[in-house]
Amino acid sequence: MAMYIVLVGPPGAGKGTQAQIVSETLCIPHISSGVIFRENLDNQTELGKLARSFLEHGELVPDDLTIAMIRERLSRPDCKDGALLDGFPRTTDQAEALAVIMNELYDRQVDAVPFIHVHVNALIERMTGRLTCKAGGHVFHEKHNPPKLAGICDYDGSELYQREDDKEETVRHRIHVYFDQTAPLIEYYKDAGKLIEIDGNKSIEEVSADILSALNIGV
C-alpha cells in the first residue's frame, strides 16, 4: 500500500535518523529538502541555477522555487508508491502547496504526519553533541548514536564534523524560531486529522517502533 508521510519535529529531535529508519522499513524514498536543494545546486539544474542566482545576491530562495524542486522530486517514478518528506513543508503555505502537488500527481493527500516532540533541555544536549557527515548529511551523536569509527560516517566513510549552528547559543535560537514558525503547521495538520504525536524523549529504537506502530506497520 502506498504511503505518503511528512515527518516533523524540532531541531535535534532525531528527525533525520527516524526518517532514514522509517523510509527503509517502508521501502519508500526519504526526501530531504536539504538534499534536494544541494542536488539541484551541484547538478546545475535549471531550478538550481535559479536558486543560485538568489543566493549569490544574498537573497532568500523564494518559496515557489523550493516548491518546484519538491514537485520535481515527487514526480519521479520511485515516488509512485509512497515517500517520506523531511524538512518540507515548514509553513502552512508550503503545506497547502504540497496538497496541490499530491492531488495533481497522485490524486491523493498526505497520509500521516508524525510529530516528534522532545523536551527543550534534551534538544540542546542532543544538538551540541551532534556530528554530521560532510558527504551525505548523515547524522550521528557522540553520546547517543556514535559512529562505529570516531569521526567517520558509517554509510559513506566521509568525515564527520560539528556544524557551526550546533553551538549552544545558536541552538537555543533555532529552537525558538522553529516553534514560532512551525506551530501553525502543527495546528494545520492536527485540524486535518493527520498529526500523530510521538514521544521523542525515548531511545532511537523505541521512537522508531512508536512511529511504525502509529502507521500500523509491524516491526
CA 10, CA 183: separation in Å to the nearest integer? Answer: 10
State phi, psi for 158 to the nearest 5 degrees. Answer: -85, 170
Beta-carbon contacts of 151 under 8 Å, excluding residues fewer than 6 positions away, are 131, 159, 160
CA 55, CA 71: separation in Å to the nearest integer? Answer: 21
Residue from 15, 73, 126, 194 carrying the catalytic annotation = 15
Establish whether 73 is a catalytic residue: no
Cell of 25: 522499513
Establish whether 108 is a catalytic residue: no
Residue from 71, 90, 190, 202 carrying the catalytic annotation = 90
Establish whether 90 is a catalytic residue: yes
**Among the listed residues 3, 1, 21, the one whose alpha carbon sits nearest the alpha carbon of residue 116:** 21
Establish whether 130 is a catalytic residue: yes
Establish whether 126 is a catalytic residue: no
CA 34, CA 117: separation in Å to the nearest integer? Answer: 21
CA 78, CA 211: separation in Å to the nearest integer? Answer: 22
Report helix, strand or coil for 196: strand
The answer to whether 65 touches 50, Cβ cutoff 8 Å, is yes
**Among the listed residues 151, 119, 120, the one whose alpha carbon sits nearest the alpha carbon of residue 134:** 151
Cell of 185: 503547521
Residue from 71, 174, 190, 202 carrying the catalytic annotation = 174
Residue from 76, 108, 163, 167 carrying the catalytic annotation = 163
Annotated catalytic residues are: 15, 90, 130, 163, 174
